[in-house]
Amino acid sequence: MKLFDKKRCLILGLVLLVLLFCPAHIFAGGEQEKEEIPTLIWLTNVQGGTNPEDDLIFQKEIERLTGVKVKLIKPPAPEYDTKMTAMLATGEPLDIVYLLDSHFDALWDQHLFEPLTDRIMSSKVLSDPEIIPMSEWDRIRRDDGDIYAVFQKFEQGTLPIVRADWMEKLGFAPPETLDEYYELLKAFTFQDPDGNGKDDTYGLALGFTIYESSGFFGAYGFMKGFAKDAAGNLYAPHATEEAIPVYEWLAKLYREGILEPNFVTNKSSNFRDLFMTDKAGMTCYWAAWVGMFNQMVKTKNPDSPFKARGLVPPKGPGGRLLRAGSDGLMVIPKWSEHKDLAFKILEFWHTHEGCVVSCFGELGHDYNIVDGKYVMTEIGEASMGQHSAPQPKSLKWKNPFGELEGFDEAAEIIRKYARPEMVTPYRAQWETIVRSEAAKIILGDISAEQGIKNMQRRFKEEGIYK
């Protein structure tokens, strides 16, 4: 080989070594080899773990499954609403924000949220009616035709829950009307359904006066909270003369000893315990508690005949109606610099993998997959249902552990008959006024007619009624 050829080969070899081992920024004016992956800021008080350490594991799991880095900001629950509102108002760097429908409604007209309609309709996940029906999207569509949020979970709803074993023992079919409900509740009170020979049972156990008794008022077509009349003015259906038959029905239950007498002061734990300890044949509560009632009683006493079951609400002049839980929503602020990545997380949330994370937590921490089967760890057992979504919104979701006994049937009743109450700033006033006057009616202290007049007067004094 000639000396010239040897020199040329040596030069080419040195050039190749430089190209292979020198930092790329030497040839790119000092620029980084590749752009650093951004970290999304996610403001929430529901998603994540049960403590700061769990939150870090949750963040890593989201990155593992989506390739997107997230950082959770989780103000304490009592401070969340104030903190969230302030951060949105001041335009702090945020990419995903969780909020309730009431906050969304109050903030929407400030033009803080990115419209998501096109992204949702283009998403193979979110546009799939077998995952989220279009009727659900239409429910949160604003007057301008756009959708600005994605659902966080299936918010369930409340319904009558019965001791199905008692109902079957006494020879009753599921009740269909308020009259049939009355006959069943009367039997629970006076026909010794627990078989102990004592007069120690009640037909119905409630709390906070008429807490979650929406199904009974639904027989007349009345939703909890407020509605608008033809002129666009707010009114409370429970505070109308048309609601008098329901109050009189409840007053009759109390007068005859069918309604457990501490209904005015009972907390949730009180009426739940009455139901689980053979003291009441029916209560009204969230659908998820059908399965939880069964699990809790059977865990303590595997031989118990106890069987909780959700009931279709009574049918009346207004049809059948139940109350759905208020929507929890996820939005993307308009000033987010990473909208596409943020939407990727919102979309992921409704995939099977996203549902697993939201229900059970993180692989290797809260659960493992052994021979194709999901197995909860001790940590996972202790924090079951506390990762943000006890029940996902997706209709395609199939719980790999199986649902608790009775939940599927109860959830189907909610999906068929429940709708959320109208969002207004006056929820607290409704609770105070309606509950206090309803208590007086049911206890027999005043007539239903007088109670309705009192409600209307007090709503006018609050400036809610014109």
List Cα–Cα distances, 373 to 65, 253, 291, 367, in angstroms: 19, 49, 22, 10
- pLDDT band for position 23 (cuts 50, 70, 90): very low
Residue 445, domain member (yes or no) = yes
**Is a pLDDT exceeding 60 seen at residue 255?**
yes
**Is a pLDDT exceeding 60 seen at residue 32?**
no
- pLDDT band for position 17 (cuts 50, 70, 90): very low
pLDDT for the residue 107: 93
List Cα–Cα distances, 352 to 86, 226, 347, 364, 462, in angstroms: 34, 36, 11, 17, 47
Residue 202, domain member (yes or no) = yes
Cα of 460 vs its chain's centroid, Å? 32
Token pair 């329901």 is at which residue? Answer: 246
Q: Give the burial class of 108: count Cβ atoms within 10 A of its Cβ; 0-12 exposed, 13-18 middle, 19 or more buried.
A: middle
**Comparing C-alpha atoms, which of 275, 278, 291 is closest to residue 207?**
275
225 and 303 together in one domain: yes
Tell me how far apart the alpha carbons of residues 104 and 81 are, in angstroms, rounded to a whole number: 11
pLDDT for the residue 50: 79
pLDDT for the residue 249: 98
Q: What percent of the chain has pLDDT over 70?
A: 91
Tell me how far apart the alpha carbons of residues 189 and 259 are, in angstroms, rounded to a whole number: 9
Contact 221, 319 (CB under 8 A): yes
Contact 354, 43 (CB under 8 A): no
Residue 366, domain member (yes or no) = yes
Q: Kindly report which listed range (23-32, 132-141, 164-173) carries the lowest average pLDDT score.
A: 23-32
233 and 173 together in one domain: yes
Residue 401, domain member (yes or no) = no
pLDDT in tens, 268-321: 999 999 999 999 999 999 999 999 999 999 999 999 999 999 999 999 999 999
What domain count does the chain have?
2
DSSP letter string over 96-109?
Answer: EEEEEHHHHHHHGG
pLDDT for the residue 380: 80
Q: What is the CATH number of the domain that holds 54?
A: 3.40.190.10
* The amino acid at 306: F
**Comparing C-alpha atoms, which of 209, 217, 244, 218 is closest to residue 456?**
244
Which pairs count as long-range contacts for 338-344, CB under 8 Å and 24+ apart, including other chains? 338/38, 338/40, 338/95, 339/95, 339/114, 341/38, 341/40, 341/68, 341/95, 342/40, 342/95, 342/96, 343/116, 343/119, 343/123, 344/66, 344/68
Size of the chain, expressed as the number of residues it contains: 466
Q: Give the burial class of 111: count Cβ atoms within 10 A of its Cβ; 0-12 exposed, 13-18 middle, 19 or more buried.
A: exposed
Residue 387, domain member (yes or no) = yes
Token pair 């400036």 is at which residue? Answer: 463
Which pairs count as long-range contacts for 191-198, CB under 8 Å and 24+ apart, including other chains? 193/163, 193/166, 193/169, 193/281, 194/166, 194/278, 196/278
Tell me how far apart the alpha carbons of residues 340 and 38 are, in angstroms, rounded to a whole number: 12
211 and 314 together in one domain: yes
Q: What percent of the chain has pLDDT over 90?
A: 77
350 and 425 together in one domain: no
**Comparing C-alpha atoms, which of 441, 455, 456 is closest to residue 249?**
441
224 and 297 together in one domain: yes
232 and 346 together in one domain: no
pLDDT for the residue 94: 98
Average pLDDT score over residue span 187-203: 97
- pLDDT band for position 383 (cuts 50, 70, 90): low
pLDDT in tens, 433-465: 999 999 999 999 999 999 999 999 999 999 999
182 and 261 together in one domain: yes
More reliable by pLDDT, 12 or 194: 194
**Is a pLDDT exceeding 50 seen at residue 33?**
no
In b/e form, how buried is each residue of 6-44, taking b as 16+ CB within 10 angstroms?
Answer: eeeeeeeeeeeeeeeeeeeeeeeeeeeeeeeeeebbbbb
Q: Which domain holds residue 129?
A: 39-155+326-393
Residue 354, domain member (yes or no) = yes
173 and 52 together in one domain: no
**Is a pLDDT exceeding 60 seen at residue 421?**
yes
Q: Give the burial class of 106: count Cβ atoms within 10 A of its Cβ; 0-12 exposed, 13-18 middle, 19 or more buried.
A: middle
Contact 285, 266 (CB under 8 A): no
Average pLDDT score over residue span 22-39: 54
More reliable by pLDDT, 409 or 1: 409
- pLDDT band for position 26 (cuts 50, 70, 90): very low
**Is a pLDDT exceeding 80 seen at residue 9?**
no
pLDDT for the residue 49: 82
- pLDDT band for position 466 (cuts 50, 70, 90): confident
pLDDT in tens, 219-241: 999 999 999 999 999 999 999 99
More reliable by pLDDT, 387 or 202: 202
Mention every residue, 6+ apart, whose C-beta is less than 8 A from residue 344.
66, 68
Average pLDDT score over residue span 261-266: 96
Tell me how far apart the alpha carbons of residues 57 and 38 are, in angstroms, rounded to a whole number: 18
Average pLDDT score over residue span 160-174: 98
Tell me how far apart the alpha carbons of residues 330 and 101 are, in angstroms, rounded to a whole number: 10
Contact 434, 396 (CB under 8 A): no
150 and 176 together in one domain: no
Average pLDDT score over residue span 193-204: 97
- pLDDT band for position 386 (cuts 50, 70, 90): low
More reliable by pLDDT, 242 or 402: 242
- pLDDT band for position 30 (cuts 50, 70, 90): very low
303 and 340 together in one domain: no
Token pair 């979650």 is at which residue? Answer: 212
Residue 197, domain member (yes or no) = yes
141 and 203 together in one domain: no
Instruction: Provide the 10 A C-beta neighbour count for residue 233.
Output: 12
Arithmetic mean of pLDDT over the chain:
90
**Is a pLDDT exceeding 70 seen at residue 57?**
yes
220 and 300 together in one domain: yes
Q: Kindly report which listed range (51-55, 110-114, 129-133, 162-166) carries the lowest average pLDDT score.
A: 51-55
Residue 163, domain member (yes or no) = yes
